[in-house]
């Protein structure tokens, strides 16, 4: 298991075939204001790739964009709504098709309201991960080893989580419902960017 660090783009040929796990780190939670600093990506083989974008970046990352936009490659997220919006806004590419472990968890783990990545990894995979660096400065000129390990851990377990969550979705008869949610997710991200971040347009009031 190796964490690879890159500046401004993913090297060509860095990933194997199949689904990829993706996460992002930004300067905050308001997408148009808080710039994209880091994209983490893994093909599930045991290595993680961190791509950092500096202040004033042009976000011209053709290799990364090609992976994100590939219609034949499934993209795995945890709370993908935020990451999809961030990449669309800064990289100009909409991730499709997608799978979100947080949505899957909410559909099958109805016995709890704890759907964070740390809780999922603990329950489904028996592993412990630290979230201490979650609110650190991702725009700093140097990222510490702790930051890099935290960022890598956000994509390290998503392939395994998908496998376990798929079993539960099938068991509870909610696979098709989950797929419909995943199909809509990129559009939900576009609604966020367009100005409806907190509005449920399906609600009566």
Q: Which of 127, 113, 130 is nearest to 164 (CA)?
A: 127
**Which pLDDT band, with edges at 50, 70 and 90, does 131 fall under?**
confident
Higher pLDDT, residue 130 or 204: 204
Q: List the domain boundaries for the chain.
A: 3-194
Query: What is the model's pTM?
Result: 0.96
Dihedral (C-alpha) 178, 183, 51, 88: value to the nearest 10 degrees? -140
37, 117 contact by CB (below 8 A): no
Cross-strand bridge partners of residue 76:
21, 99
Per-residue pLDDT reduced to its tens digit, 147-158: 999 999 999 999
Superfamily of domain 3-194: Ribonuclease H-like superfamily/Ribonuclease H (3.30.420.10)
Residue whose tokens read 């990506």: 41
Q: What is the pLDDT of residues 79-102, one digit of tens each?
A: 999 999 999 999 999 999 999 999
- The CA distance from 176 to 179, in Å, is 5
Give the pLDDT confidence of 4-22 residue by residue, as tens digits: 999 999 999 999 999 999 9
Residue 170 pLDDT: 98
DSSP letter, residue 10: P
Report d(CA 89, CA 80) in Å as an integer: 14
- Give the model's pLDDT for residue 133: 67
């Amino acid at each position: 298991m190796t964490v690879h660090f890159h500046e401004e783009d993913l090297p060509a040929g860095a990933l194997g075939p199949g689904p990829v796990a993706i996460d992002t780190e930004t300067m905050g939670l308001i997408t148009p204001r808080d710039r994209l600093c880091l994209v983490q990506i893994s093909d599930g083989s045991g290595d993680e790739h961190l791509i950092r974008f500096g202040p004033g970046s042009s976000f011209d990352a053709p290799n990364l964009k090609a992976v994100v936009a590939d219609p034949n490659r499934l993209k795995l997220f945890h709370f993908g709504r935020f990451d999809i919006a961030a990449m669309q806004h800064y990289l100009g590419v909409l991730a499709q098709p997608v799978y979100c472990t947080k949505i899957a968890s909410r559909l099958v783990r109805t016995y709890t309201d704890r759907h964070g990545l740390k809780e999922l990894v603990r329950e489904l995979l028996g592993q412990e991960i630290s979230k201490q660096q979650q609110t650190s400065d991702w725009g700093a000129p140097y990222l510490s080893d702790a930051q890099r390990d935290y960022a890598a851990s956000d994509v390290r377990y998503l392939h395994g989580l998908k496998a376990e969550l798929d079993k539960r979705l099938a068991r509870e008869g909610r696979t098709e419902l989950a797929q419909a949610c995943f199909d809509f997710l990129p559009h939900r991200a576009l609604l966020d960017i367009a100005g409806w971040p907190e509005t449920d347009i399906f609600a009566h009031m």
